Structure 1
Amino acid sequence: VVGRYLSVQKLGGIFLSLCEVEVYGHPAAVSPDPPSATPAPVLTNVALGKNTGHSSAGWGGVSSRAVDGSQSGDFTAGTCFHSNRGDIKPWWAVDMGSPQEVHRVRIINRQDCCSGNLATITIAVSDVMPAPPLGQEISTTTAVCTYQAGPLTDAEYTFTCDTPVIGRFLSVQKQGGLFLALCEVEVYAQSATASPAPPSTPAPALSNVALGKNTGHSSAGWGGVSSRAVDGSQSGDFTAGTCFHSNRGDAKPWWAVDMGAAQEIHQVRIINRQDCCSENLATIKVAVSDVMPSPALGQEISTTTAVCTYQDGPLTDPEYIFTCDTPVVGRYLSVQKLGGRFLALCEVEAMGRPVQPVASGAGSFLDTCMLRI
């Protein structure tokens, strides 16, 4: 028998007398106390001061501001991230440096203005930095921590993941609306071993493949030759000598750039004329093709080109971004006004990357894309 105490008891009678009791045995292991519950993990803010990324940034509100440690909700204090115009599904992301098991996320909302912009957001983690084209949703293969639908106007929110999620990169994306502003994002997590991302060859980064390239036009007036629209200037002032301008008598003016080789175009940015007549940017078609456009004066560019977007109404803002739902491919990019007085383009940036050209006789690349404003 095993135990610490031994007893002798008389179960009846007057007295019990024992002159010596010797107990022969050897030490025995006893059952240990049941193990205590696993202690809760110690969580720390693994986002503070880390590298960040974003779909766009406006008014100086770069993504790094959201992990600078400031607790201020005042954008004018210079400590908040803010997306830019034309970004209809803005996102922000942080590289936590290594895979982390994320339990909760704390967000400090903008409070000096527009706090209701924090709405319809998805918080997710992944093993790669998000890089969707402008206006597109981050891949659904990321592990979603939480989705919040309604307007969130409070000064701060703490979101607890439905179940802890593991990944190296955490993103916050707004699924629709005007802007995304994040004054601070704190990610509470502990180190974890995540499954490595499958090996893949990263796609080349997008760059402005129109800058400094050869250009063409249907007409040019007042010295506004087509090459001015790819000179790199960001000015919207025609008098500065950096804008293309069509001439009188050109009923369907067009401008085009030879990008030198077939390019996979993801988005096109146009800087509009601002010193005068900005409304002239209207009823335009942006397209790519495998041949330089050469319609007769007053005629529309061939419909066999791959149309990126058609925009009917006047566009009076300083700039516009056109983003393709799926990339379009071609060597030549054109902008044509389909009716009205003049076409003025102060800068055209074609954001794309090189692709292998189609062999002779194989046909042209055709696809469609839509306007993102």
Structure 2
Amino acid sequence: MRVFFRSLSLLLGFFSVQIKADEKEVNAAGWGTASQTSIAYDWYPQKAVDGNPNTYTQVPTQNNPWWKVDLLKVFIVNRVVITTMLFCCSEWMNGVHIRVGNVSSDVFSNPICAVISNIPLGASYSYSCNRMAGQYIFVISPGIYKGLILAEVKVYVVYPGNLAAGGSVTQSSTYTSWIAEQAIDFNPGLFSQPWLACSSTAIQNNPWWRLDLGHIYRVSRVVVTNRRDCCPEQINGAEIRIGNSLDNNGNNNPVCAVISSIPAGVSYTYACNGMEGRYVNLIIPGNSRFLNLCEVEVYGEGLYKQTI
């Protein structure tokens, strides 16, 4: 019965939210940092985003108890999925608000995504947020002397039109487990261990990373997210190159932009003004350099059907 509830409710939620063909929907809840008004026992707020519906977080009874996840940057929030505890207290969810916004200090200043009427024990219900933009997702039980128990919260964000989705990548070398694919895994690596979410070459001369889009696109912009944990200066001087040649591993293609610097954990957008190309390279010219990339997004305004 427990599996039935969760499967059925998630299926209904899937059909209630439309995803366009060129979009990618990703659960970003685990990328952020969770907090709540107070903690009961060892039921910590992170347990609501640990991917395990059999662990729980609890806020003791108080006025307006809330739980929050900070995604660390603004995303387009498509939907939020709430899973209740299997054994107790599903009625605590009655009247709970899901709020999405950019105000950390005042929960009620953030717009409402949904108001929960009820969720059965051990069930997962999906609530459409209709592409609300926000960094903070609050789950709050408004009122006097209320409690809050959550088994799992998933926050699905969308990346509209990111051409990097489904592309193939390679890099000049790999530092331990920092593989090239982690730069297009939709996880910007802002909170999780960077070696699980970011790519990096080994230290070498002229390190590079290359994305093969599979077709020739007119690239309008490239978004690069820098690592947050340390060493943001390692990206300084990186060149973004776009074209159709694999001469010198694609590093002879025309330059879209040169990255002067990107602050730690920040995403910068570089306009490429419709440059045509199948390959997107990032290269740092110089001796004894690393190339770290936590996320690379590529957006294009047109597609030529032929391949090279």
TM-score, normalization by structure 1:
0.38
Q: Which has the higher contact order (CA 8 A, sep 6+)?
A: 2
More helix by share: 2
TM-score, with structure 2 as normaliser: 0.45
Q: Which has the larger radius of gyration?
A: 1
Write 1 or 2 for the structure with the bigger share of strand. Answer: 2
